[in-house]
Amino acid sequence: MGIAIPGLNSCSTAISFPVPGNLSQVPSRIYYYSTKNKTFSIHASFLTPSRHFVSTPLFRNMASHIVGYPRMGPKRELKFALESFWDGKSTGEELQKVAADLRSSIWKQMAEAGIKFIPSNTFSYYDQMLDTTAMLGAVPERYSWAGGEIGFDTYFSMARGNATVPAMEMTKWFDTNYHFIVPELGPNMKFTYSSHKAISEYKEAKALGIDTVPVLIGPVTYVLLSKPAKGVNKSFPLLSLLGSILHVYKEVIAELKAAGASWIQFDEPSLVMDLDSHQLDAFTKAYSELESSLSDLNVLIETYFADVPVEAYRTITGLSAISAFGFDLVRGTKTADVIKSAGFPSGKYLFAGIVDGRNIWANDLASSLTILKDLEAVVGKDKLVVSTSCSLMHTAVDLVNETKLDGEIKSWLAFAAQKVVEVNALSKALAGQTEEVFFSANAAAQSSRKSSPRVTNAEVQKAAAALKDSDHRRATNVGIRLDTQQKKLNLPILPTTTTGSFPQTVELRRVRREYKAKKISEEEYVKAIEEEISKVVKLQEELDLDVLVHGEPERNDMVEYFGEQLSGFAFTVNGWVQSYGSRCVKPPIIYGDVSRPKAMTVFWSSTAQSMTSRPMKGMLTGPVTILNWSFVRNDQPRHETCYQIAFAIKKEVEDLEAAGIQVIQIDEAALREGLPLRKSEQAFYLDWAVHSFRITNCSVKDTTQIHTHMCYSNFNDIIHSIISMDSDVITLENSRSDEKLLSVFREGVKYGAGIGPGVYDIHSPRIPTTEEIADRINKMLAVLEVNILWVNPDCGLKTRKYTEVKPALTNMVAAAKLLRSQLASAK
């Protein structure tokens, strides 16, 4: 790593010399470098008065811990290896080689950085919950698993489906943009130790000379995040299976002990939720049952994403089998006070999650050190371990790979590799060995960010503040609006549409890449995109879809595309974060006040509308989704930033309407995702999130139809807030979750706006039949009025191939027409 001195040229490599006795200048910026073998080396580097570059190792093996680390690799190596394997272009052995190289690199990186407690078994080929399902042998019957060690065929069939059976349900991991595969459990499930991944990876690291902390999803969290299997009564008490599951955990623990493990980490993030006494008792029973198996091991229970409620805190800190407790002190803003007031068990370890695992801002080291010293006074000097707030898989991998971020913004940031450094810096400072150079550089960066003129725009702040004075509801009731819109749009019953994107082909990505690299002219780029839009429009007309989309060929990502055209955003080259499986996103960085300098989508939407007489949707990403799928500034409340984005999108909506676009979709795919985990905090979030959406379209005419889209979340508990959004039509994920959404309407909730629960899962390559889709539509008609029901896929089609999209949409349209015919003949 290099630290650039003000007034001197920055450097990106280091040459070792003895460190001079004193420095006349204070560093202001931190740079990082990787060694030739791609491991991680940490040095304080600076220029002497004679302009020689000097370097020295900063951090030794102190009490430091990392909850987990990104799996995809700094250049998405795992993504490409997975997709090559799925396409039949490479073997399982080749995929395993890429995975082993990534794991080795990560472990060596942390070891060389000086981390004491290095995690293993946090790597996954798809998802850590699916890994636990494999470990337990909890394979649903439909996958025809015959027993034995679970291989790639069964594993990926559960994750992605196959030609004959659908995938397991996928939903959001707490309040993150990561998706996990939901276990399906029932009274007849036979749990057997069927994946030895945890022990294999522990031994793999040990062979490299690195002793790791094996990480397992805790048994109680696993059960609490599961659902009853198909055919099992929805009221089946899943916690009744805990005893059977624990038998497998005992086998795993025994193998880890035999292999030499001295620590084991159980991730139990469900502890931050509002749990009832029965659920809390499950933790006591589970870890009491495991106590004899855990003898002679140090056991860490790790929590993250929010404060641990007082009752949950008392429950777990009273467990005699547990040696250490990990808490998120970033999002858990009250946990430090709970520790101080409720006390901490004598002789046990506190793993203090003080370095943010979910954002990319450099840690305020001085402030964090103050908090740590206060906690040290409570738990004891040798019992405090500095840690990350959660797994670093929710942040980008390494700042060294960012070649286009300007120096000022780069100095404000820390990606996963840099957060490893911050953890050790704090650990060393806590031990009385503060690295003044490193801390001074950090303080200078913190000061730079606070005073930078590019962060604040007084005009934007004034406009956003004024938005709070109204609830921004449209003047006319949604029922009246729908009647007015139908007279203009003249749509059939059960109108068909898609939710936005069409497949992004290799050729399309090449065109965008070459335009960005200035290898083709703007004229050539526009021509290529117009040709792609024309192809997508013609395909939809041939398929006989009723409301069309332009396919979004000009967009790299539904959030990044807009962020690139808004002020206050910065962008990375390799800041990828895993969303699910091989799917990665590159969140923009919101560093300052947000505004819209010019129209963003009007040209492309108008171009597409000129190619057809059918309604063409203008496609926008909503303010809450842009917020929740970005790395958001942490120097002002999130809702203030959201109002600024809403005001910018409002201007775009008005321009689309003025250009003649009659249907405008404002996606809020991530609205549910941002819901706080604790019920006491949810009303405030939903109030400003729903308000932000309404701001975007409050000024449009009754004849302009406003759509929104949400995906892969549990919508039932926020259905009244969804209604309050007051959109004319909403499309939602439904098929992969077994029509769980429909249950809320069976329970009597009345929905008067248009609604399109998804009729097939776009995250699986499987092509649904016409009969299957028709059956789903009939289930919807049992609880929804025919005049409000739309027919559409679960989500956008960007990640699919045309060989999958064409037959799937053909069957979808055929199913809609079949139902229309049946309804007409029934009159």
Question: According to the model, what pLDDT value does residue 62 have?
Answer: 65
Residue 490 DSSP symbol: -
Distance, in Å, from the CA atom of 1 to the CA atom of 47, rounded to the nearest integer, reads 13
Q: Is pLDDT at 488 greater than 90 in this prediction? A: yes
Q: Is pLDDT at 820 greater than 90 in this prediction? A: yes
Question: According to the model, what pLDDT value does residue 19 have?
Answer: 31
Question: According to the model, what pLDDT value does residue 747 have?
Answer: 74
The band of 225, judged by pLDDT with boundaries at 50, 70 and 90, is: very high
Q: Is pLDDT at 460 greater than 50 in this prediction? A: yes
Q: Is pLDDT at 25 greater than 70 in this prediction? A: no
For the chain, what percent of residues have pLDDT higher than 70?
91
Question: According to the model, what pLDDT value does residue 635 have?
Answer: 95
User: Which whole number is the average pLDDT over 171-186?
Assistant: 95
Is there a catalytic annotation at residue 639? no
Question: According to the model, what pLDDT value does residue 738 have?
Answer: 62
The pairing of strands 29-31 and 2-4 is: antiparallel
SS3 696: helix
Q: Residue 278 is encoded by which pair of tokens?
A: 């029965």
**Nearest residue to 728 (alpha-carbon basis) of 747, 752, 746, 761:** 752
* Ramachandran sector of residue 770 (left: φ over 0; alpha: ψ -120 to 50; beta: rest): alpha
Q: What is the DSSP string of 147-191?
A: SSS--HHHHHHHHH--SSSPPPPEEESTTSS-EEEPPEE-TT---
The band of 468, judged by pLDDT with boundaries at 50, 70 and 90, is: confident
Q: What is the pLDDT of residues 237-273, one digit of tens each?
A: 999 999 999 999 999 999 999 999 999 999 999 999 9
List 361's β-bridge partners, or say none.
413
Question: According to the model, what pLDDT value does residue 737 have?
Answer: 64
The pairing of strands 324-328 and 298-302 is: parallel
Q: What is the pLDDT of residues 501-552, one digit of tens each?
A: 999 999 999 999 999 899 999 999 999 999 999 999 999 999 999 999 999 9
Q: What is the pLDDT of residues 571-593, one digit of tens each?
A: 999 999 999 999 999 999 999 99
Mean pLDDT for the chain overall: 90
Type of residue numbered 112: E
Q: What is the pLDDT of residues 28-53, one digit of tens each?
A: 333 333 333 333 333 333 333 332 22
| Greater model confidence, 6 or 153 | 153
Residue 229 DSSP symbol: P
Question: According to the model, what pLDDT value does residue 467 have?
Answer: 79
Q: Is pLDDT at 313 greater than 80 in this prediction? A: yes
Question: According to the model, what pLDDT value does residue 821 have?
Answer: 96
Contact 245, 136 (CB under 8 A): yes
Distance, in Å, from the CA atom of 645 to the CA atom of 692, rounded to the nearest integer, reads 8
Alpha carbon 549 to its chain's center:
26
Q: Residue 364 is encoded by which pair of tokens?
A: 């305020």
Q: What is the pLDDT of residues 656-694, one digit of tens each?
A: 999 999 999 999 999 988 999 999 999 999 999 999 999
User: Which whole number is the average pLDDT over 192-214?
Assistant: 98
Q: Residue 64 is encoded by which pair of tokens?
A: 């430091």
Q: Is pLDDT at 61 greater than 50 in this prediction? A: no
Q: Is pLDDT at 23 greater than 50 in this prediction? A: no
Q: Is pLDDT at 12 greater than 70 in this prediction? A: no
Annotated catalytic residue within 43, 394, 639, 763: 763
Q: What is the pLDDT of residues 393-417, one digit of tens each?
A: 999 999 999 988 999 999 999 999 9
Q: Report the side by side order of strands in the sheet with 754-757.
A: 617-621, 663-667, 705-710, 729-732, 754-757
| Greater model confidence, 464 or 323 | 323
Number of continuous H segments (helices) and E segments (strands) in the chain: 27, 25
Distance, in Å, from the CA atom of 535 to the CA atom of 529, rounded to the nearest integer, reads 10
**Nearest residue to 172 (alpha-carbon basis) of 629, 630, 796:** 629
Question: According to the model, what pLDDT value does residue 765 have?
Answer: 87
